[in-house]
Amino acid sequence: MSDLLGLNAVAAREALDKKAISAVELTTAYLGAAEATAGLNNYVALTADHALAMAAESDKRIAAGAAGLLEGLPIGVKDLFCTKGISSTACSNILKGFVPPYESTVTANLWAAGGVMLGKLNCDEFAMGSGNETSAYGPAVNPWQGKDKVDLVPGGSSGGSASAVAARSALLATGTDTGGSIRQPAAFCGVVGLKPTYGRCSRWGIVAFASSLDQAGPFTRTVADNALMMMAMASHDAKDSTSTQTPLQDLIGAVGDGVKGMKIGVPKEYVMDGMDSEVVTLWEQGQAWLRDAGAELIDVSLPHTKYALPAYYIIAPAEASSNLARYDGVRYGMRVDAETLDGMYEATRAAGFGEEVQRRIMIGTYVLSAGYYDAYYLKAQKVRRLIKDDFDAAFQTVDALLTPATPSAAFPVGRKIDDPVTNFLNDVFTVPANLAGLPGIAVPGGVTSDCLPLGLQVLGRPFDEASLYRVAGVLEQAAGFTMTPARMAGGAA
Ligand code: GLN
């Protein structure tokens, strides 16, 4: 294995500043890694020339003593982010051929901090899915394998991002999380993923799925790397009216602060039928780690948790059906001609959207229709408020909550895709945070008996990402998760 790929982001920054390595060398190593692991299908476009040109600029800035926070670090970008002059498709056929004339605020922030863009990463179509299996480019694959060597999903929707960071074909990656799409794939691939508080990162230039839930966040190998990337991603943005002016905390400093004196809640409702017993064991282990590190563990109740998933699968499709109305064959990407204008809309949308996206549009249109709005959409919004109230009450007594990230480890490609309801159950532990707008982080905690990663989730108060990093830092240290996947660039360590 190339030593360059073994460096985490913090270590790579140090090596770059000391001129022990160059950004061009580092970028070249990652481009090679991406090619070597192409079978994982986690990239949908590798922008090698662009990456090397950006890396050369980084080397100049380093030489001039003007390095940014992410100077010279190779980053993969979920294909949901618009990147100027570079195809951005949300992994949908309907957007194939769309080349944005603008850059999303989040990615612009990364490049302003010196980050180097490697290419665009695979994801579920319009970020709808839990296994990266609805992508128009085919499924991305998890670099981890169980004993039977069957291909596993990397999770979704940011499956390409998690797969690439775990396989070391991206040092850092962006993701988006509407109902768990950063935390669930992070858990499935044994990497760290943060969904910031709603409003912390600008949504401008990110293809919209469900606007009141969508939030961008970082995928990294370590908690410290995650805090570093987050410092560069977040910003107030006048172009997103929901973007916050609340100042960003010192997230990098928080990572090593420990949890002494912190009160950590354990919600009793985060147990469900059919949940893997190894997940419960890890959760208990996580509680013990935090107790040993000086935190007080407190049982709490979030009584409306069981309504989160049904409420989410009304609200998210409702917003999606509205957001996706813009893909009409006129303004973006694909067009299928027909005799009439309505015919052209219908033919384009029928050919351009995949099955899962069509299902969401139909559900969303139904729950928003005149006769059903009160019974479904309005009711779901009221449930959403109750869920938020549950969290507010819990945060009166605790500083953060510890839960499992997912009810199971990664499952085989193809197993759940034909059964949407089973697939939706993946999100049972992640969806409540989106409904309430709260920050959440997934950290690798251990492996199953089949050697597949499992994650722990920490949830916090709005705009208190620092507490998440404190807790995550302790969990990471206690877990000592050093295993690497079978299908990593350069082979398993
Ligand atoms: N799996 C969830 C869904 O399909 C969440 C997706 C996401 O967070 N983008 O809606």
Cα separation, 256 vs 474, whole angstroms = 8
Residues 7-46 have pLDDT tens digits of 999 999 999 999 999 999 999 999 999 999 999 999 999 9
Compute, in angstroms, the gap from residue 91 CA to the centroid of ligand 1: 14
Compute, in angstroms, the gap from residue 337 CA to the centroid of ligand 1: 31
Q: Provide the pLDDT for residue 493.
A: 43
Strands 192-195 and 400-404 come out as: unpaired
Give the distance between the most distant pair of CA atoms in the chain.
Answer: 70
- Residue 69 Cα distances to 7, 193, 454, angstroms: 16, 19, 30
Cα separation, 187 vs 195, whole angstroms = 13
What percent of the chain is predicted at pLDDT more than 90?
94
Task: Evaluate if residue 394 carries a pLDDT over 90.
Answer: yes
Q: Provide the pLDDT for residue 333.
A: 87
- Does some domain include residue 472? yes
Helix (H, G, I), strand (E, B) or coil at 211: coil
Ligand 1 pocket test, pick from 130, 161, 211 with the greatest ligand atom count within 8 Å of Cβ, gives 130
- Does some domain include residue 207? yes
- Residue 156 alpha carbon, nearest atom of ligand 1: 1
Please name which of 44, 240, 23 lies closest in space to residue 159, comparing C-alpha atoms. Answer: 44
Residues 147-204 have pLDDT tens digits of 999 999 999 999 999 999 999 999 999 999 999 999 999 999 999 999 999 999 999 9
Quote the number of domains for the chain: 1
- Does some domain include residue 337? no
Please work out whether the CB of residue 423 comes within 6 Å of at least one atom of ligand 1.
no
Mean pLDDT of the chain: 96
Q: Provide the pLDDT for residue 1.
A: 43
- Does some domain include residue 240? yes
Compute, in angstroms, the gap from residue 109 CA to the centroid of ligand 1: 25
At 491, the pLDDT band (50, 70, 90 cuts) reads: low
Q: Provide the pLDDT for residue 2.
A: 60
What percent of the chain is predicted at pLDDT more than 70?
99
Cα separation, 243 vs 204, whole angstroms = 9
Cα separation, 369 vs 482, whole angstroms = 51
- Does some domain include residue 344? no
- Does some domain include residue 200? yes
- Residue 210 Cα distances to 65, 109, 171, 309, angstroms: 42, 23, 28, 15
Please name which of 287, 282, 285 lies closest in space to residue 299, comparing C-alpha atoms. Answer: 287
Count other C-beta atoms under 10 Å from residue 386's C-beta.
Answer: 15
- Residue 360 alpha carbon, nearest atom of ligand 1: 10
User: What integer is the mean pLDDT of 364-370?
Assistant: 96
Count other C-beta atoms under 10 Å from residue 15's C-beta.
Answer: 18
Task: Evaluate if residue 492 carries a pLDDT over 50.
Answer: no
- Does some domain include residue 490? no
- Does some domain include residue 194? yes
Please work out whether the CB of residue 130 comes within 6 Å of at least one atom of ligand 1.
yes
H or E element, residue 443: strand 440-447
Residues 262-309 have pLDDT tens digits of 999 999 999 887 788 999 999 999 999 999 999 999 999 999 999 999
Task: Evaluate if residue 121 carries a pLDDT over 90.
Answer: yes
User: What integer is the mean pLDDT of 206-218?
Assistant: 98
**Is residue 146 within 8 Å of 452, Cβ to Cβ?**
yes
Please name which of 20, 77, 79, 31 lies closest in space to residue 55, comparing C-alpha atoms. Answer: 31
DSSP state of 198: T
**Is residue 170 within 8 Å of 27, Cβ to Cβ?**
no
CATH code for position 160: 3.90.1300.10
Look up the domain containing 441 and give its range.
2-264+397-479
Cα separation, 251 vs 179, whole angstroms = 23
What positions carry a catalytic annotation?
78, 157, 181
Q: Provide the pLDDT for residue 489.
A: 85
User: What integer is the mean pLDDT of 246-254?
Assistant: 97
Please work out whether the CB of residue 80 comes within 6 Å of at least one atom of ligand 1.
no
Please work out whether the CB of residue 177 comes within 6 Å of at least one atom of ligand 1.
yes
Compute, in angstroms, the gap from residue 194 CA to the centroid of ligand 1: 15
